[in-house]
Amino acid sequence: MKLLRNKARAGIALVMVMVIVLVFAGMAAVLSTMMTVETRLARNTSWDTELEWLGRSGIELAKYVLAQPNQSGQQYDGLNQIWAGGTGETNDALTGISLTDNRLGHGTFSVKITDADRKFNINLAATSPEMAAMLDQGLILMGVDAAEAPHIRNAIADWTDRDDDPRLGSTDTESDHYLALRPPYTAKNGPIDDLTELMMIKGITPNMYFGSGGGAAGNGIQDQYAKSHARLTRRFNNRREGEEPTYALGFVDLFTAISGRLININTASANVMQLIPDVDGGMASAILTTRAGPNGQEGDEDDMPFRSVGELANVPGMTPQYAQLFTRYFGTRSSTFEVEVTVQIDAVQRVYTAVLRRNGPNQVVLLYMHWR
């Protein structure tokens, strides 16, 4: 009997030892993980300054590239130039300059430059009836229902005008409506500063902003923020997700909030060209084919960008009436550029974004920058 009790005690002791070993092993694993995380955080913190200066270096490179004159000395911007990632025309100062995989210190940086002037500035829609017609045409191209389009247009107008009075025929498009939401906010009553503001406007959904296919065409700088912002605003929509129609394009494909009055005919998409009433897909395609050159590929030495809007007369099918129409809405220069600088040190990556304004030769200024 005594022998059995001793064996039982020995068995209990063995179980206790095993439990203790397992507990300490678990604690060691947790401690090891915590130390790994702390080490990584400490290393990342120590690189904050270097990461920032890599980002700033990329922005300075973008400013330098945009400040250089064209090889021919003529004033135009096209997709074959180095700032746009093209492999065509350059000048001696830019020979050997690369926007990708530039090594500096312990890290590397790559720069992507996109001109905002390839799209229509949505703030201009309130300046004249002909500009408002471009917004209406955009809603048609997007696939917004004809009965809903006037409400969207008026909601945008009420968001950007200076008063808190709804437009005739509109309701719930001023601050009274937005203050009743959770969280509450007021109507902007001023120009749109960032295109993602549209998703705060009544009736505009994330699908309408991006397009049902995901959108984000040519607007990479704002997309990450907008997708996050969309999750917050989705509950403000008036339709259940399953009832929302399909949109061929999104606001982000056609509009911007930071460009000038004229759209750059050398960088605009066929869809943006069709914002002009009476410009159809055939004419827009003919312009793209002409500027792409004989090989039909844009961004290389074969391109034939327009040096002036007057050269549109060389486009097959272009009539004097069409040419005059394009002169009112299009130019061949871009003044505002969105810059995305991707920096990396070992496994740590950070993306800096900036907006640059070119005011003239050798006059490129930074408007703002941030990182994500």
* Residue 235: C-alpha distances to residues 105, 173, 203, 242 (Å): 46, 17, 11, 13
Cβ atoms within 10 Å of 211's Cβ, excluding its own: 22
pLDDT tens-digit readout, 7-60: 566 666 667 777 777 776 667 766 666 666 555 655 556 678 899 999 999 999
pLDDT tens-digit readout, 57-114: 999 999 999 998 876 667 899 999 999 998 877 667 778 889 999 999 889 999 999 9
In the predicted model, is pLDDT for residue 296 greater than 70? yes
Give me the domain span that covers residue 184: 120-256
Contact 291, 152 (CB under 8 A): no
> Does 61 reside within a domain?
no
> Does 153 reside within a domain?
yes
Torsion angle in degrees (nearest 10) through CA of 169, 171, 176, 180: -170
Contacts (Cβ under 8 Å, ≥6 apart) of 138: 120, 251, 254, 255, 275
| Helix H or strand E encompassing 351 | strand 348-360
pLDDT tens-digit readout, 160-207: 999 888 887 778 889 999 999 999 999 999 999 999 999 999 999 999
Contact 297, 87 (CB under 8 A): no
What sign does the dihedral 207-209-212-217 (CA atoms) show? Answer: negative
> Does 104 reside within a domain?
no
Residue 289 pLDDT: 96
The separation between CA 303 and the C-alpha centre of its own chain, rounded to angstroms, equals: 25
DSSP H helix total and E strand total for the chain? 11, 9
pLDDT tens-digit readout, 220-235: 444 444 444 444 444 4
Tokens of 129: 């009836």
> Does 141 reside within a domain?
yes
> CATH code at 249?
1.10.40.60
**What does the pLDDT average to over 318-335?**
91
> Does 206 reside within a domain?
yes
pTM here is 0.81
pLDDT tens-digit readout, 279-295: 999 999 999 999 999 99
Question: What letter would DSSP give residue 75?
Answer: -
Structurally, how many domains does the chain consist of? Answer: 1
